[in-house]
Structure formats: structure tokens, C-alpha cells
Structure 1
């Protein structure tokens, strides 16, 4: 009997920093640093069907086409490594990552799939191997295969440009959604070729973030995230952005962050700041006053701060990979 392979991958809460950077050879390269978030994730189960044609691969839900491509690529690689013939199989995906908010739902599906297929062959792929297959499956991917380690990641190439350290400075994040949670069609956004000044600005932010991680400086990280969010806002043009940044300033937050490919955003707090709970409650009230939906309050050290009824588990709303529908993140 062929065992069922299983795999899991987390999500993230948008980006702390995203832009164009220089790699070790001085070449310009798109890169990002994501804000990890414990909780929601994608789960994959894969059953091989020996003796069936390689093309006989199915996925449930049927619209997860990127995950299906990842399964085909992973089967081909695992079969070659183990000396077994190619075959078909069935992939099943479950999870609770909201789609359309820029939280890496499709990458999470893909990574969970690669891990599940490998597990069915008795293999455990290294993160760089998972990243390579993920980029082939969806053209660009988030660094979710690194399980929360802060890195500057070249999303279109699937490689780490810089390991920033073991962990981000502790943060408390009040999550919210902009643009009424509508998906962001990244293909329709205007494309502007970065100039030398842009690259220099991103490299300065990279250096500041490196220092923030090395020293555990939440305030400095907040400055970097806000500067990156402001730059992203020049393209995304969320109407509530100025309101969120103003609220962050009034309640003593260290900054804001946004998803550069979605509508999720976060108001960032230093957990060591005096009167933290009062600040967080004031932030929640202010966002509510301005009709900006809040989602989840969490920390980068995985402890969550309750501010509403919990809602967990189950399948996230199904939607084609090319047209992700908005969904609310479970509120805590």
C-alpha cells in the first residue's frame, strides 16, 4: 500500500520590505522580506497511483492549478531521485489562509504540495529545492519554505539574497484590511523601472533592517516597514493608507506595514512600550471609527492577543488562482 504523503506550509502577513536590491554580484534583483504569522496555513495530502499515466494528476479543490503544477514537477523530481517510474496521483488541499489579501496563500499551497509529494516518496526536500520548484510552478514565490526566518528573498528566482538573522525583533501587530479587502490585481498595476536612486533607497532600508534585526530594535524595524509601505502605496494607492498611518502615530505605534500584492496591513507596536494594551485598544477603536476592518492581533513571537471571537479551521473559500476572492482573516 502506498502511504499518503502529507505537507504543511504557513502564511505571512504581507511585507516588511519590498523593492529592488543588489545581489552579491552587483546585479539588480527584486526582493522582499515578509512578516511571519503563526496560525493559518495550507495542508496537503498526496496519494500516488502507481501504474497510472503521469498526466493523471487531480487536485481538490479543482481550481488550485498552481498546486497541481507543483505536484507534477515534484512527482517528476522525486521519481527520478528514487528511480521509480512516473505515475499519477491525487492531491487534496485544506487550509484557512484568506485569499486575495496578499498573505501568500498560493505559495503556501504550492509548498505544502511539494512537501506532501516528497513525503509520499520518503523524501524530505531542502528549502532551496522547494523554492526552486515553487518558482517553476507559479513564476514567483514567497519565502514560506524557510518557516519564518527573516531573509531578503528574491521572489522571482527563489533564492535568499541575505539572511538577516535568527528572528525579527518582537512586535505586536494589529491586522486590518484596506480597500474593503478587495483583491489586488498585480498584473494591472503600473510598472515603473527603478532608477539608481530607487535602488540606493532600497539598499539603505535593507541596511537599516539588518541593524534592526541585529539589535532587536522594534522602532527601527517600524521605520523601515513604514518607508517600504509608503513606496508601495505609490503603486497600490489604498485610500485608507494615510488614515492608518495617522492612527499609528496617534496611538504610539512604531510603524505600519502592508502587503504589496494584496490588501492586508498591520499597525506595528513595540511590546515593551508602556501601556501596550491601552495603545492596542485605542488603535482598534480608531480603526473601527474609520470603518477599516480589523482582522487579528498577533505577535512575531506567536503569542496572540484576543480582541474578538476566535474562528479557526476549515477550508478557505475556493477561488481560481488567477482571480482570488477576498476573505476575512479569522479574528482573535
Structure 2
């Protein structure tokens, strides 16, 4: 038993989210600059886990982990995160995963991604960021569908349209997808599969835009039309948080004029929204 540590990346929304063969799924878009880090200090004299207000989901995840292994010793859980809350950037998922990893490190527990996934999904609909790289993931049932390789180098420029979204409440709402939408989700899934396999970045951009466009009917993003026009102009794709408030443009980081294009897009997005523009790679 020792002081344990763990971490987990956040996301910028999702590459794709919808249903495939009637199964809810998302394809992750992890962002390394966004991270939740956890430190767990065990206390042999405690039976509960103590943490600050606002991190109760992470505490619950740790309690479920300890119960799974029959451990009745508590401790103090410290979490630091630069992931905005309620924006669709996997803040809660990253907190829970980082915390569970910290506790498992403390007790040297043989924790798998599958176990973390099950624990997180018992608390709320969760993102697949417990898995490395890009994955297709059933976010309601906490199950891995398929693991892909990492994305080709990318630049992502976007902004927060404002407000916040409660993930649990949003995912309790029934999503009505037409047959046309379901075919589009299948197409988007196949585009991601082939785009990552072949390194064809245009396929990834097309897949993201297909999904973002469908999501406009469920959770509309202000300035979506302008984003789509900019994406087309600069050979990019529109990326959104399907249950959050961020939206942006995905670009191939290897395009020859990427710095100039990034500068121009940032200027245009700032003139649209008047708020801080976000950039990730």
C-alpha cells in the first residue's frame, strides 16, 4: 500500500456518435493537452474515501473498485484537471478513470480497461478514454466495440458555444434516428476505419462532418453553418461534442500551409463568436 497516482486524457467531443445496428456508439477523439490527474493517499484508519466537492463520481468509482477487490481501507483522493466541466470533453470520465488508476496503483490491483469501463458505465454514460488511442465504444453499456490505431497528426481549432450539458440527463432522452441517418452512421464508421487504416485524412474529416450534421437536429450548435463552410474551404471536417457545447474544425497537421490556415481559421472563429479560440493537436 502506497500513495498511488493515475491520469487520463480528455477529448474534444467525438469523431462520430450515433447508432450502428441499433447499438449506441461513439468514436473517441482523445486530446493529449487535456488531462485529469489523480493522487490517492491511503489511510489504514479510514473506511471511506474523502475528496473535494464536485468529484463525487470519481469517489464512487474508487469505492466500486475497492468493493470489487474486497478492500475496506479508505483514504484521501486528490484530483487536478484542466478539462472544462459540462462541455462534452470527457471531464467526468477522465476524473473517474484517473482516480481508479490512482487507487489501483496504491494497492497494486490487477485492473483492466474492461473493469474500469464497467465501473464508469455503472455511474453514468461514459467515454471510451480508458482505452489507448481511438476506439469505437458503446457509451451507455461501457463496452469496447473496436480499437483502431492512433489518428494521423491533426490540428483542431474550435470554441465553446456556451452553457453546459448534463450528460446523464441528455442521454436519458430517446434519440430518434431515421433510416437515412443510420445509413450515414454506418458510412461514417467505415470512413473512420478506412481513414485510419490508410492514413487518408479526408475520410476522417468527412466522417466527423456527417455525424456533426446529424447531431444538429438533437443538440444544435450556434454557427454550425459557418463552421461547415470554413471546413470545406480549408479541406477540414466539423467536430462537435455530441452531448456538450464545443465545436470546431479538424485539420490535417501535415498539410503544407497548416500554420497559415490555422491562423486564418482562428481569426475567423474569433470574429464569429468573440470568445477564446481553442487549439489542440
**TM-score, length of structure 1 as denominator length:** 0.79
**Cα distance change on mapping 1:100 and 1:17 into 2, 3 Å:** same
Residue 207 of structure 1 deviates from its aligned partner by: 1.1
Could you tell me which residue of structure 1 aligns to residue 37 of structure 2?
Answer: 43
**Cα distance change on mapping 1:99 and 1:295 into 2, 3 Å:** farther
Could you tell me which residue of structure 2 aligns to residue 74 of structure 1?
Answer: 65
RMSD (Å), alpha carbons: 1.9
Could you tell me which residue of structure 2 aligns to residue 89 of structure 1?
Answer: 75
In the alignment, the residues of structure 2 paired with residue 298 and residue 16 of structure 1 have an alpha-carbon distance, to the nearest angstrom, of: 14
In the alignment, the residues of structure 2 paired with residue 272 and residue 119 of structure 1 have an alpha-carbon distance, to the nearest angstrom, of: 38
Q: Does 1:257 align with 2:239?
A: yes
> Does the 8 Å CA contact 2:158/2:269 hold for their aligned counterparts?
no
Structure 2 gaps, min length 5: none
The count of aligned residue pairs is: 279
Could you tell me which residue of structure 2 aligns to residue 19 of structure 1?
Answer: 18
Structure 1 segments (4+ residues) deviating >6 Å: none
Structure 1 gaps, min length 5: 23-27, 300-332
Of residues 209-218 and 184-193 in structure 1, the stretch that sits farther from structure 2 once superposed is: 184-193
Could you tell me which residue of structure 1 aligns to residue 223 of structure 2?
Answer: 240
* Superposed CA offset, 1:167-187 (max 9, x none): 113222113222xx2112452
Q: Does 1:57 align with 2:56?
A: no
Residue 51 of structure 1 deviates from its aligned partner by: 4.5
* Superposed CA offset, 1:103-160 (max 9, x none): 0000011001111111111124111111111112x2221111113x111101112111
> Does the 8 Å CA contact 1:247/1:287 hold for their aligned counterparts?
no
**Cα distance change on mapping 1:192 and 1:126 into 2, 3 Å:** closer
**TM-score, length of structure 2 as denominator length:** 0.92
Residue 195 of structure 1 deviates from its aligned partner by: 4.4
In the alignment, the residues of structure 2 paired with residue 75 and residue 233 of structure 1 have an alpha-carbon distance, to the nearest angstrom, of: 41
Name the SS for the 2:15 alignment partner: strand
> Does the 8 Å CA contact 1:13/1:264 hold for their aligned counterparts?
yes
* Superposed CA offset, 1:219-273 (max 9, x none): 11101101100111111112211122122233x1321100111111221122233
**Cα distance change on mapping 1:94 and 1:291 into 2, 3 Å:** same
Name the SS for the 1:133 alignment partner: helix
Name the SS for the 2:68 alignment partner: helix
**Cα distance change on mapping 1:272 and 1:8 into 2, 3 Å:** closer
Q: Which has the larger radius of gyration?
A: 1
